[in-house]
Amino acid sequence: MKKVLIPTDFSANAYNAISYALKLYKNEETTFYLMNTYTPAVYQSEYLLFSPGQIGLGDIYQENSEKKLNEVKRCILEEFNNPKHTFIIHSAFNTLVYEVVETVENEKIDVVVMGTQGATGAKEILLGTNTVHVIKQAKCPVLVVPPKYSFVAPKEILFPTDYEIDYKKTPLDQLTNIAKIHESNIDILHVSSGNELTNDQLENKSKLGELLGEIPHRFHDVTDQEIITAINNFQTDQKINLLTMVRNKHTFLERLFIEPIIKKISFHVTIPFLVLPHNSKV
């Protein structure tokens, strides 16, 4: 039984992510955890000290959160009515990131699916702050769904890599699972500076091919391009339906999240984006 966590703020963006997840795992026995977190706007130290003026405020927010979660659940059941899917609502007085991290660990979540939560109309921003922090801290894959993205089965998956990652130490289960259930092709894209691959890179490339096994996959090598340009060009030319990358402190993806240039670059999510964690301790 697959376990999928979907945070929601009850926006159209969030419901779109829910819809995508339900269609992506349409034929899979799946338990979906619908999560909403709340922190009252008037939350102050006196709230912790049980000031008379604050008593009961948390209950009100919790009741409102649970009511809306049940409404979302009702809408899902009416729209999809899939006997393979079950739903659990989860409301918590906490920040989104901390609650996601805790729930992933406590419930053994397989994948988190969420909307980008980026600033509306600001295409230069890759992802919203909450989404970035969830990706950086969650110990499971995170699938990000762009606003208003209409579901398309991920038949073509793009996997950019620099082959600096030992793939036997990186959980690829969610990627291979998606590829198998949707009979996907995986395009592995390496953007090089013209230098030959090192022995370690060649070994990692070989391991990746072995792990993908019988899943249709192709290796591509592109030179003399910026990584962002190469991804965007390949995505457009090949009609890619899903972008997948590994979060590793040495990779482009991690640098992208921590550098201030994030607000200036042109790389932005236009298709679903699956981020895999790198478990260097395995």
Pairing relationship of beta strands 242-247 and 156-160 according to DSSP bridges: parallel
Q: Is the pLDDT of residue 105 over 90?
A: yes
Task: Give the chain's domain count.
Answer: 2
| Domain identity same for 12 and 115 | yes
Looking at the structure, tell me whether residues 98 and 219 fall in a common domain: no
Establish if 60 belongs to a structural domain.
Answer: yes
Residue 141: alpha-carbon gap to chain centroid: 6
Last residue of a domain, which of 124, 145, 166? 145
In this structure, is the dihedral angle defined by the CA atoms of residues 72, 73, 74 and 76, taken in order, positive or negative? positive
CA distances from 22 to 26, 78, 146, 185 (A): 6, 13, 15, 21
Site of tokens 């899902």: 76
Mean pLDDT of 218-226: 87
Q: Which amino acid is at 5?
A: L
Sign, CA dihedral 116-122-125-126, equals positive
Return mean pLDDT, the chain: 83
Greater model confidence, 170 or 216: 216
In terms of domains, do 198 and 131 share one?
no
Per-residue DSSP letter, 239: T
The stretch 226-237 carries a mean pLDDT of 82
Instruction: Give 112-143 pLDDT, tens digit per residue.
Output: 999 875 444 444 334 567 787 888 888 999 99
Domain that holds residue 59: 2-145
Q: How many CA atoms lie within 13 A of 51 on its CB side?
A: 10
- Domain stops at, among 118, 145, 172: 145
DSSP symbol at 229 = H
Q: What is the Cα–Cα distance from 124 to 67, expressed in whole angstroms?
A: 35
Residues 142 and 135 sit within 8 Å (Cβ to Cβ): yes
Report pLDDT for 116.
Answer: 77
- Angle, vertex CA 247, rays to CA 207 and CA 245, nearest 5: 65
In single-letter form, the type of residue at position 158 comes to L
9 and 91 housed in the same domain: yes
Q: Do 7 and 113 sit in the same domain of this protein?
A: yes
For residue 256, is it within any domain?
Answer: no
Q: What CATH number is associated with residue 10?
A: 3.40.50.620
Q: Are 38 and 90 in the same domain?
A: yes
265: in domain: no
Gap between the Cα atoms of 138 and 109, Å rounded: 10
Do 109 and 233 reside in the same domain of the chain? Answer: no
Three-class DSSP category at 81: coil
Residue reference for tokens 């339900």 = 22
In a domain, 270, yes or no: no
pLDDT band at 191 (very low <50, low <70, confident <90, very high): confident
Q: Is residue 282 part of a domain?
A: no
Q: Are residues 24 and 114 in the same domain?
A: yes
Q: Does 53 score more than 90 pLDDT?
A: no
Which DSSP category does 168 fall into?
G
CA atoms of 182 and 176, how far apart (whole Å)? 10
Cβ 144 vs Cβ 114: under 8 Å: yes
Q: Answer yes or no: do 136 and 179 share one domain.
A: no
For residues 177 and 52, membership in a common domain is answered with no
User: Is residue 17 included in any domain, yes or no?
Assistant: yes
